[in-house]
Structure 1
Amino acid sequence: MATGTEPHPNSGGVHTGTRAAIDANHLRTDRWWLAPAVTAAGLLAFIVYSTWRAFADTNYYSAPYVSPFYSPCLADRCATMHSGPNADLFGSWWGISPAIIILIFPLGFRLTCYYYRKAYYRGFWASPPACAVAEPHKKYSGETRFPLILQNVHRYFFYAALLVAGTLTYDTVLTFRDENHHWGHMGLGTLVFLANIVLIWAYTLSCHSCRHIVGGKLKHFSKHPVRYKAWKFVGKLNNRHMQLAWASLISVALADFYVYLVASGAFDDPRFF
């Protein structure tokens, strides 16, 4: 007589002696695979695009716009291309694309982000592919072992992300200057950069680590009214963390692509004044 706890023929993972002996991997009737498939396609598209642009090493500056993938410029080979916060930390020996230096930090922040973990765990690793759908892996150790234990560095990448957002804010301010460094310029690229930096800051501040830094380890909110208000504000952003993650990912790619079009001569930046 079956008791409902017999080992599954493919014992492992959810098919163990302590789980109900159900042959089907799930009992869902909806298109549960659609969400992880779209997520994987979206992330893969960004990976392909950002990899191409990072190694292209060209068409990333057209006054007054500098691609967010290449800012700040940390190599002397591009120090004269932009009047922004350049810091010649790498001498002439650095021969590859400057974007390789800076993209480590924003990509590290996003790769270890709590939402993006969920996104690519489900989209690429099928761990699990969707709610109430059995994952194909026989063992699950979570983030307790190498390499996933390195996800814990997310809180440190958050500080780096603040510096990156600050740099991009400075770049956005510079879009109000023309190629002769005169204030009063405003083009379509200025609006593109403004939209991007707003989304970048919203996504960065909606981070779970930011929420903990702002309001964590407080026993009495009433004794810390400023931090309490800040915590409530960050909490509202945190509720939209997924949407902000995607919106900022798209906006930073669009900002880079806009600079590419202008710098390559494929498109003239419309100027309002």
Structure 2
Amino acid sequence: MATGTTGPAGNTGTNAPGRAHIPARHLRTDRWWLSPATTVTILSAFIVYSTWRAFANDDYFAEPYVSPFYSPCLASKCDSMPMSANAPLFGDWWGLSPALLILIFPLGFRLTCYYYRKAYYRGFWASPSACAVPEPRGSYSGETRFPLILQNIHRYFFWFAAVVAVILTWDVLIAFRDEHGAWGHMGLGTLVLLANVLLIWAYTLSCHSCRHIVGGKLKHFSKHPVRYRLWGFVSRLNGRHMELAWASLFGVALADLYVYLVASGAFDDPRFF
């Protein structure tokens, strides 16, 4: 791989001794910038949307649907929500949107995710933007310094994300009940929430930390057949981790948007039975 000399000044980076002296910054002729540009666009749009919805503190419950951004509600301001989705641990003193109390866990899980780190490092920081495209800086410390060393807490965020996935699964079960609490209801919102939770579970279980938890530290798979089968299943999901990361990101945003539109009266939820 040959790189140029238009990088940072000095004898580091692309100007390091032994590097080929080529005037061009790189020799790629394809549209290498398209992938990082797409990443920046999509993630920026999600950040704007999720920030608006997190601080909106309104239109997050439409019987029997609960927005995944607000479940479970940990403040007392969610009295209109069913008790199954309302756990006011913070009482009345929390004056901000209750979504801010719960979103830190799934967002922390995604922020420290191995794939997302690669995506936004390349997209926002050009570290590097693409293969064979040098970084616009002369030194590299990786994730050995603050604040990036905190990325190592990803393995702990996995457990919180799994708990949130369990709670959202319960919300899907509740979505099969009508406004009177009787089972047998199914609307378009039920299917939207069901698709969302399936994508969230697939993304969570495909996580590298989950794969290590299931099959790590084993010297002989033959002595642990159950864990070996689970490891094989998680490994197959892990091979699609990138696709599941994006699909679940769109899924959770669309699920919240659907609940918002129904709760705000934009349209009525179509019911199948």
Name the Cα RMSD after superposition.
1.7
Residue type at the aligned position of 1:140: Y
Residue 87 of structure 1, CA deviation: 1.7
Q: Deviations over 1:5-38 (max 9, x none)?
A: 9998823323212433333221011000001000
Question: 1:260/1:9 Cα in 2 relative to 1: closer, same or farther (>3 Å)?
Answer: closer
Residue 88 of structure 1, CA deviation: 1.7
Residue 83 of structure 1, CA deviation: 3.1
Question: 1:110/1:189 Cα in 2 relative to 1: closer, same or farther (>3 Å)?
Answer: same
- Structure 2 residue 9 is the aligned partner of structure 1 residue 10: yes
Q: Deviations over 1:35-55 (max 9, x none)?
A: 100011010010000000000
Residue type at the aligned position of 2:249: L
Question: 1:25/1:63 Cα in 2 relative to 1: closer, same or farther (>3 Å)?
Answer: same
Distance 1:205 1:64 in 2: 27
Residue type at the aligned position of 1:207: C
2:87 corresponds in structure 1 to: 87
2:227 corresponds in structure 1 to: 227
TM normalised by structure 2 equals: 0.95
Residue type at the aligned position of 1:10: A
1:115 corresponds in structure 2 to: 115
Question: 1:8/1:151 Cα in 2 relative to 1: closer, same or farther (>3 Å)?
Answer: closer
Q: Deviations over 1:52-92 (max 9, x none)?
A: 00001000000000100000010011144223242221111
1:46 corresponds in structure 2 to: 46
Question: 1:9/1:131 Cα in 2 relative to 1: closer, same or farther (>3 Å)?
Answer: closer
Which consecutive unaligned segments of at least 5 residues does structure 1 have? none
Question: 1:8/1:55 Cα in 2 relative to 1: closer, same or farther (>3 Å)?
Answer: closer
Residue type at the aligned position of 2:15: H
Higher mean alpha-carbon deviation, 94-103 vs 79-88, is at 79-88
Q: Residues 161-200 of structure 1 correspond to what in structure 2 (within 5 A)?
A: 161-200=161-200
Structure 1's consecutive aligned runs of 4 or more residues displaced over 4 angstroms after TM superposition are 4-9
Question: 1:8/1:127 Cα in 2 relative to 1: closer, same or farther (>3 Å)?
Answer: closer
Residue type at the aligned position of 2:9: N
Question: 1:7/1:115 Cα in 2 relative to 1: closer, same or farther (>3 Å)?
Answer: closer
Which consecutive unaligned segments of at least 5 residues does structure 2 have? none
Calculate percent identity across the aligned residue pairs: 73
Question: 1:26/1:102 Cα in 2 relative to 1: closer, same or farther (>3 Å)?
Answer: same
TM normalised by structure 1 equals: 0.95
Q: 3-state SS of the aligned residue for 2:13?
A: coil
Q: 3-state SS of the aligned residue for 2:49?
A: helix
Q: Deviations over 1:195-239 (max 9, x none)?
A: 101100000000000000000000000000000000000000000
How many pairs does the alignment contain? 270
Distance 1:64 1:36 in 2: 39
Contact 1:7–1:16 (8 Å) recurs in 2 = no
Residue 138 of structure 1, CA deviation: 1.5
Question: 1:235/1:5 Cα in 2 relative to 1: closer, same or farther (>3 Å)?
Answer: closer
